[in-house]
Amino acid sequence: MNINRREFLTGAVSAAAGATMPKSSHTHGHYHAEQAVPSDLALRVKALESLLVEKGLVDRGALDTLIDAYEHKIGPRNGARVIARAWADPAYKQRLLTNADAAIAELGYGGMQGEHMVVVENTPKAHNLIVCTLCSCYPWPVLGLPPVWYKSAPYRSRAVIDPRGVLREFGLELAEEVEVRVWDSTAELRYLVLPERPAGTESLNEQQLAALVTRDAMVGVAKVAPQKGSSA
Amino acid sequence: MNGVHDMGGMHGMGPIQEEKDEPVFHELWEGRVFALRRAMSAWGKWNIDVTRYEVELVPPAEYLRMSYHERQFAAFREMLVKYSFLTRAELESGTPAATSPKAVPALTPEKAAVLIAKGVPTSRNVTVAPRFQPGQRVRARNMHPVGHTRLPRYARGKFGIIHRDHGVFVFPDTNAHFQGEKPQHVYSVRFAARELWGEQAAPNDSVYVDMWDDYLEPV
């Protein structure tokens, strides 16, 4: 079975190399290997979609609904609203930390790849970082689909063995006495980091607070800066 | 399986490359693959653990060369044949066999919206006694199954503390092979970074790994 599969995949790669489609502009340096895309993939996917539609196995409207949801409706702004609510409302924060599913549902979020949520809180003494070393598990309802770096080998391999080095690469240097807690999403629990509320934001309302919260801060590779766009 | 997908702790994968203002999908086909997989999952012929295992079966050199969506596409094509939605000839030619019956799509736009909103929970509302309690010291089993497992290599044989009991969930090691859901407790287990990585790790850092009952033994 493996031999067949290997031949099949090798065949696919040769087909890609021999295709007359315009070459993509992706760099093929080895650090970019994960991002390299054979140029005929678009055609192969289109052909498969047509075949599945023709056989009555797939409804194109359902595909459009799914793509539209994750391109336009579900993303890190959802998570930012959850975080801002937790900063503004201590009772909500307590509910979020003890029963994340219910608390997140209060704001209308939940569903696919966020069926079982856990929220972990950053404090001056502890910093949390989320990873999935085995695949690319990520809390879709609150953060949307993961960025390429989160799904890539460099992040997945190093987050558990060298979290401080990873954070440094994101520009975040943590003091030695801060405890780093890495959460490897090996089961069906999906994690969201509750970042520290930055100083000097006492006068901001929930909407203004939400505007400060970034995706990276909710994964734990950054802190939230006191002003939008400034670096932490 | 001890595959290349089990990356925790590996070296040499290069720097992390963050892209500013990254789009959700870089190319149209990526979104189509993403959606096609969900649409075909609605037929109920496989489960999430089956799909993860199929990606793990992508040969290691290919796995590392491919982008995330390319891997998903390669695994998806194999599943379509393996679970009899397509013949190999149909897959290669792109044309339905003359005898191929016309189905009615399992996932309609309305059902897609429900899927997005409700997901597919993997917890099970059954009474199963937990084998461990929060605060208890445990050891991750030293096991190397050739099939699917969610016990990462870097944690095997290591000592940790039960941090929290998440409740009862489907067991991937059997579910991925259609050997039953075998529902059991999943715990968050705290491993000291130094237990996993030795003296090079910071003294107070830790890694929390979600683990099923069958991955653990008492100390």
Higher pLDDT, B198 or A9: B198
Whether pLDDT at A221 is above 60: yes
- Domains annotated on chain B, with CATH: 28-118 (1.10.472.20), 137-218 (2.30.30.50)
User: Would you call A185 an interface residue with chain B, using a CB distance cutoff of 8 Å?
Assistant: yes
In this prediction, residue A226 has a pLDDT band, given cuts at 50, 70 and 90, of: confident
**For chain A, what is the mean pLDDT?**
87
pLDDT at A15: 39
A105 interaction partners in chain B (CB closer than 8 Å):
none
pLDDT at A197: 98
Provide the 10 A C-beta neighbour count for residue A226.
Answer: 14
Whether pLDDT at B192 is above 70: yes
Q: Annotated catalytic, A24?
A: no
Greatest CA separation for chain A: 64
Q: Which of A25, A135, A152, A157 is catalytic?
A: A135
Whether pLDDT at A20 is above 90: no
Q: What's the gap in Å between the CA of B137 and the closest CA on chain A?
A: 18
Provide, rounded to the nearest whole percent, the portion of chain A with pLDDT above 70: 81
- Summarize the confidence of residues B12-21 as an average pLDDT: 96
pLDDT at A229: 59
Instruction: Quote the CA–CA distance of B65 and B70 in Å, as a whole number.
Output: 9
- Domains annotated on chain A, with CATH: 38-73 (no CATH), 75-219 (3.90.330.10)
Residue pair B175/B213 in contact (Cβ under 8 Å)? The answer is no
Q: What is the pLDDT of residues A110-149, one digit of tens each?
A: 999 999 999 999 999 999 999 999 999 999 999 999 999 9
Q: What is the pLDDT of residues B126-156, one digit of tens each?
A: 999 999 999 999 999 999 999 999 999 999 9
In this prediction, residue A36 has a pLDDT band, given cuts at 50, 70 and 90, of: low
In this prediction, residue A151 has a pLDDT band, given cuts at 50, 70 and 90, of: very high
Instruction: Quote the CA–CA distance of A139 and A147 in Å, as a whole number.
Output: 12
Nearest CA in chain A to B206: A181
In this prediction, residue A230 has a pLDDT band, given cuts at 50, 70 and 90, of: low
Whether pLDDT at A4 is above 80: no
- Summarize the confidence of residues B66-81 as an average pLDDT: 98
Query: What number of C-beta contacts closer than 8 Å exist between A and B?
Result: 302
- Summarize the confidence of residues A46-50 as an average pLDDT: 97
Q: What is the pLDDT of residues B169-190, one digit of tens each?
A: 999 999 999 999 999 999 999 9
H helix or E strand, kind and range, residue B51: helix B48-56
Instruction: Give the B window 53-112 contacts with A, CB below 8 Å.
Output: 55, 57-59, 62, 64-68, 70, 73-74, 77-78, 80, 85-86, 90-91, 94-96, 100, 102-109, 111-112
Q: Annotated catalytic, A132?
A: yes
Whether pLDDT at A231 is above 80: no
